[in-house]
Amino acid sequence: MHDDRSLVEARLKRVLEERIRPAVYPESVPLTVSVWTAPGEPVPVAEGLAAPRSPIAVGDAWGAPWSTSWLTVAGTVPAAWAGRTVEALIDLGFDANMPGFQCEGLVYRPDGTPVKGLNPQNQWVRIAAPAAGGEPVLLHVEAAANPVILDYHPFLPTELGDKETAGDEPQYRLARMDLAVFDETVWQLVLDLEVLGELMAELPADGARRWELLRAVERALDAIDLQDVNGTAAAARSRLVEVLAAPAAPSAHRIGAIGHAHIDSAWLWPLRETVRKVARTAANMTALLEDEPDFLYTMSQAQQFAWIKEHRPEVYARVKKAVADGRFVPAGGMWVESDTNMPSSEAMARQFVHGKRFFLAEFGIENEEAWLPDTFGFTGGLPQIIRNAGSKWLLTQKISWSQINKFPHHTFLWEGIDGTRIFTHFPPVDTYNCSMKGSEIAHAARNFKDKGVARHSLAPTGWGDGGGGTTREMVGKAARLRDLEGSATVRWQRPAEFFAEAEAEYPKPPVWVGELYLELHRATLTSQARTKQGNRRSENLLREAELWCATAALRTGLAYPYERLDRIWKTVLLHQFHDILPGSSIAWVHREAEATYAGLAAELEELIDAAQRALAGDPAGGRELVFNGAPHGRSAVPAGGAAVAVAGPGDCSVAAREGGGFVLDNGLLRVVVDGDGLVLSAVDAASGREAVAPGGRANLLQLHPDFPNMWDAWDVDQFYRNTVTDLVAAEEVAVHAEGPAEVAVRVVRSFGSSAVTQTLTLRAGSGRLDIDTEVDWHEAEKFLKLAFPLDVHTERYAAETQFGHQFRPTHTNTSWDAAKFEACNHRFVHLAEPGWGVALVTPSTYGHDVTRAVRPDDGGTTTTVRFSLLRAPRFPDPRTDQGRHRFRHALVPGAEIGDAVREGYAVGLPERRVTGSAESVRPLVELDQDALVVSAVKLADDGSGDLVVRVYESGGGRARGRLATSFALAAAVPCDLLERPWDGTRGEVVADGDGVRLALRPFELVTLRLTPAR
Ligand SMILES: [Zn+2]
């Protein structure tokens, strides 16, 4: 037979496009449209409905950036349409090539009840089926003119990302505004042909099934009268019944599809717009659930449910009902889909606490899966947190975005730094916006790495971010793919059911140990430094506020601020969303975040101050008490307690150095700063060993060009290192402080349009050289690093993460090692030879790199640690990071891992001084073993008055110790993160009088509920 395959395929394409799809709506009449534009920010629904309208017509421009227009559409169903299905088609001026990321609407009835959302791929509103004919139509649309920030020419700087700079040029033109007849038979024919045509294109050209489909499609096309598609569509469909009924092969890959809309809690729009995006999408999805009995939908992020509850109660009522019916499925059990690299141990834990608690309280549902499809990498600390939250599964597809290496599994056990293993699935469809296209279904089946031993994968299906979620077309295609020869099978499935089935069929999955590093978006550890510092400051202040408020509550009866702490935590958790904390949102989001963090800091300082005053007693007592919120004692003040300040003798000295510069010494550390303000030498007195590599100079600022190939705020590409400028010229190197307690040298430099002032400080009794850097940053597309070349020979180094640290190589042996050229630490990196090491600690710099070189002259190894201070990408915020910044970094020569942990906490938790009458404040709990670190002391969230203390093993070894309470202890119970009794602790927790004996395994965390005797 002659090969006419491409001829028939081209025919299908043209006929579908030009004749069949347009025939879905064969008749239409225009609607009358009127408009009112809210003068500023969005207004309440009642106000928008009541506002006076002016006429507007199809083709007219509307929508200054970020404005809201209330449209009213009115008309009458023609009498001749009696018995037909009638829909309104409302095209706000959508660019149908982008499923979201632009204008959107929510349709209301005149009484204010929401109907559904309007999105680029979802412009219809059902009016009547069947119509009576002659009925009046009146609908209102709250239309948001969200400007397009990312389009066909992506990553160009734009001023549209903040309402303060966006201008008032209308962004859209009203397009089709019609009442139309909906021909369901033609619509079904479109789906038949799309499913078969797309499947056909994926099948081997020499396979029989492909040709069967081709011939069936040809027969269907032959049945269509192109001048009467509506009259012949049924006949065409009848010619496809047989090929659509042929069942899938028994070995076919099995896809569990779940309706989904990935809605970024802020990104190319501000938080307030997400509130509305979520409501529109939830309105769409609850409506679709009613129309489609097989369909299931999942939504993650408790915060988004909370927004609907607060702002669109009518939509929330629909959501609650659909959740109760088991069809709208809350997923993930986290407050938001957060970043996981940067949140602190406690914050990462609280993401689950607040997320799971919300779903339990609102719906009585406990999630067992963590749902993080789009997060930029996963720390080795996360598995233990998931397990301690009472969950056991993880879903993400993001690692498929890695630039270099293909991850070897789609379903596997992921083992964290403490040995916890979490059953993990990466959907092989490689997207969280599956649209049921044949190419996606075939890709999932082909791509699935665990073929032969496993058969199931999950496909989150629907348009996110203003796309409105799953469409009825996707549901229609899924129905055809349920059991279709040549295709993977598709059925709607809840995430928990998928995981249970996948786990059951795969009893011995492969294991991946350590972090799931995303080989992309590495610059999200650095971009928008003020947002990152606001997060870390808030985390530290929350630690202190909980500690001192709990101490004051138990000691003095001061009321514990449950509600305020709950609200502040949720605000901090929201801002850890995977486009806010990573710095990848528009200017508006980061401007607001900085203001929000400033407000939280003021509120938390007030709580801390009130608690400490209550503990210190009458200020007339005149005693200056030093409060220590860190987990280790310092200067005679116990951890979590306070004592009267004692000024030590102090023996710091600073002397001019021959040839320029200064020598700083405090008996523990001797530091030589040269005439350029760089650290030539740092010798730890205890060992007599030099930390700085021969020929190297530490505290070196280095400037690189930084213009990635795409994703400006997100990415730094490897080639940035090819060009570097060492910022060595100093305008001033002078003694800044000189006394027995403290000596300091100040260094002033300028470069480009920017200036830097650094203060290098040595304090009495401290083995730490503190480097405070103030930058007035006015560069574009540059990367600023702070380098420490160290004389340490090691193949790996430790970087702190949640509840411990993870190791990374200092070399680039494999493509996997080489790809980690920028990585995350929390408060320290530590590198060591046996018996001697160095730590670099910081309160708020997450990005860093570590490289090695062998010196030609002495053959020694120089390991260089560089902190990533600032970048200056121009998209999506054209002025990212411009202005003033303050950083602290510190060099700790001679540090063991325990010193790194201690100094890491100490730099971010300064002592506080309060005048009162008390002689001291005894800590509520004390530990007798340094490796056991307290990460939280708080009152139980249930208001019982119990104390909750979380402790972890911080060194990566076994630790045995006793936690002593300074109050009479009635009971001590190990708990999960949600403060529920839990028997999952693997070490030993044994009540022992007024205390608890603990024996923890490496990096193990344990949460204790301590009930005081009353
Ligand atoms: Zn996202």
Q: Average the pLDDT over each of 514-518, 540-544, 641-645, 718-722 and give the range with the smallest value.
A: 641-645
Cα 850 to Cα 810: distance, rounded to the nearest angstrom:
6
- Cβ neighbours of residue 978 closer than 8 Å, sequence gap 6 or more: 352, 353, 356, 357, 389, 390
Q: How many CA atoms lie less than 13 Å away from 138 in the CB half-sphere?
A: 6
pLDDT at residue 325 in the model: 98
Residue 56: is its pLDDT beyond 80?
yes
Whether residue 105 contacts residue 90, with contact meaning beta carbons closer than 8 Å, is answered with yes
284-305 pLDDT, tens per residue?
A: 999 999 999 999 999 999 999 9
Q: Is 677 helix (H, G, I), strand (E, B) or coil?
A: coil
Residue 981: is its pLDDT beyond 80?
yes
Distance of CA 266 from the midpoint of ligand 1 (Å): 9
Residue 742 neighbours by CB distance under 10 Å: 19
722-776 pLDDT, tens per residue?
A: 999 999 999 999 999 999 999 999 999 999 999 999 999 999 999 999 999 999 9
Q: Which of 688, 613, 655 is nearest to 918 (CA)?
A: 613
Whether residue 572 contacts residue 581, with contact meaning beta carbons closer than 8 Å, is answered with no
- Cβ neighbours of residue 191 closer than 8 Å, sequence gap 6 or more: 473, 476, 477, 480
List 761's β-bridge partners, or say none: 744, 770
Distance of CA 397 from the midpoint of ligand 1 (Å): 11
Residue 648: is its pLDDT beyond 80?
no
Q: Could you tell me the two tokens for 886?
A: 């303050």
596-623 pLDDT, tens per residue?
A: 999 999 999 999 999 999 999 999 999 9
Region label for 869, one of left (φ > 0), alpha (ψ between -120 and 50) or beta (otherwise): alpha
Q: Sign of the C-alpha dihedral, residues 605, 608, 614, 616?
A: negative
pLDDT at residue 947 in the model: 98
pLDDT at residue 172 in the model: 98
Q: Could you tell me the two tokens for 33?
A: 């449209």
Distance of CA 562 from the midpoint of ligand 1 (Å): 31
pLDDT at residue 657 in the model: 97
Q: Is 851 helix (H, G, I), strand (E, B) or coil?
A: strand
Q: Dump strand ranges (E) for 657-741.
A: 662-665, 669-673, 679-684, 689-690, 700-705, 725-727, 732-738
pLDDT at residue 240 in the model: 98
Distance of CA 264 from the midpoint of ligand 1 (Å): 5
Q: Is 68 helix (H, G, I), strand (E, B) or coil?
A: strand
Q: Could you tell me the two tokens for 984?
A: 């999952």
311-337 pLDDT, tens per residue?
A: 999 999 999 999 999 999 999 999 999
pLDDT at residue 298 in the model: 98
Cα–Cα distance list, 743 to 634, 645, 660, 695 (Å): 20, 20, 17, 25
Q: Sign of the C-alpha dihedral, residues 294, 299, 302, 306?
A: negative
Distance of CA 339 from the midpoint of ligand 1 (Å): 10
Question: Is residue 908 very low, low, confident or very high in pLDDT (cuts 50, 70, 90)?
Answer: very high
Question: Is residue 228 very low, low, confident or very high in pLDDT (cuts 50, 70, 90)?
Answer: very high
Q: Note the pTM of the prediction, 2 decimals.
A: 0.98
Q: Tell me, rounded to whole angstroms, the distance of Cα 214 from its chain centroid.
A: 45
Cα 442 to Cα 202: distance, rounded to the nearest angstrom:
7
Q: Is 639 helix (H, G, I), strand (E, B) or coil?
A: coil
Q: Is 288 helix (H, G, I), strand (E, B) or coil?
A: helix
pLDDT at residue 381 in the model: 98
Q: Is 447 helix (H, G, I), strand (E, B) or coil?
A: helix
Q: Please report the DSSP string for 914-948 in residue order.
A: EEES-SEE--SEEES-TTEEEEEEEE-TTSS--EE
Cα–Cα distance list, 680 to 511, 692, 928 (Å): 45, 7, 38
How much is the average pLDDT of 683-697?
Answer: 98
Whether residue 427 contacts residue 411, with contact meaning beta carbons closer than 8 Å, is answered with no
Question: Is residue 96 very low, low, confident or very high in pLDDT (cuts 50, 70, 90)?
Answer: confident
Whether residue 170 contacts residue 160, with contact meaning beta carbons closer than 8 Å, is answered with no
List 792's β-bridge partners, or say none: none
Distance of CA 469 from the midpoint of ligand 1 (Å): 14
449-467 pLDDT, tens per residue?
A: 999 999 999 999 999 999 9
Whether residue 374 contacts residue 350, with contact meaning beta carbons closer than 8 Å, is answered with no
Whether residue 436 contacts residue 417, with contact meaning beta carbons closer than 8 Å, is answered with no
Q: Tell me, rounded to whole angstroms, the distance of Cα 251 from its chain centroid.
A: 37
Assess whether the previous peptide bond of 130 is cis (omega < 30° from 0). Answer: yes
Distance of CA 820 from the midpoint of ligand 1 (Å): 22
Distance of CA 263 from the midpoint of ligand 1 (Å): 7
Whether residue 802 contacts residue 343, with contact meaning beta carbons closer than 8 Å, is answered with yes
133-192 pLDDT, tens per residue?
A: 999 999 999 999 999 999 877 899 999 999 999 999 999 999 999 999 999 999 999 999
Residue 978: is its pLDDT beyond 80?
yes
What's the length of the chain? 1014
pLDDT at residue 870 in the model: 98
How much is the average pLDDT of 215-219?
Answer: 98
Question: Is residue 549 very low, low, confident or very high in pLDDT (cuts 50, 70, 90)?
Answer: very high
Q: The tokens 């490897």 sit on which residue?
A: 718
Distance of CA 854 from the midpoint of ligand 1 (Å): 42
How much is the average pLDDT of 492-518?
Answer: 98
Whether residue 937 contacts residue 641, with contact meaning beta carbons closer than 8 Å, is answered with no
pLDDT at residue 45 in the model: 95
The helices-and-strands tally (H runs, E runs) of the chain is: 19, 54
pLDDT at residue 1014 in the model: 84
Active site positions, annotated: 374
Residue 822: is its pLDDT beyond 80?
yes
Region label for 765, one of left (φ > 0), alpha (ψ between -120 and 50) or beta (otherwise): left
Percent pLDDT > 90 in the chain is 98
How much is the average pLDDT of 495-499?
Answer: 98
Cα 432 to Cα 495: distance, rounded to the nearest angstrom:
13
Region label for 436, one of left (φ > 0), alpha (ψ between -120 and 50) or beta (otherwise): left
Q: For the CA atoms of 264, 325, 88, 56, what is the dihedral angle to 10 degrees? A: -40
Give the DSSP H or E segment for 347.
helix 345-363
Cα 903 to Cα 900: distance, rounded to the nearest angstrom:
5
Cα–Cα distance list, 822 to 62, 342, 523, 530 (Å): 44, 14, 8, 20
362-417 pLDDT, tens per residue?
A: 999 999 999 999 999 999 999 999 999 999 999 999 999 999 999 999 999 999 99
Whether residue 405 contacts residue 375, with contact meaning beta carbons closer than 8 Å, is answered with no
Distance of CA 526 from the midpoint of ligand 1 (Å): 18
Mean pLDDT of the chain, nearest integer: 97
pLDDT at residue 107 in the model: 98
Q: Tell me, rounded to whole angstroms, the distance of Cα 509 from its chain centroid.
A: 27
pLDDT at residue 97 in the model: 87
230-240 pLDDT, tens per residue?
A: 999 999 999 99
Cα–Cα distance list, 1000 to 570, 936, 993, 1003 (Å): 30, 17, 19, 8
Residue 965: is its pLDDT beyond 90?
yes
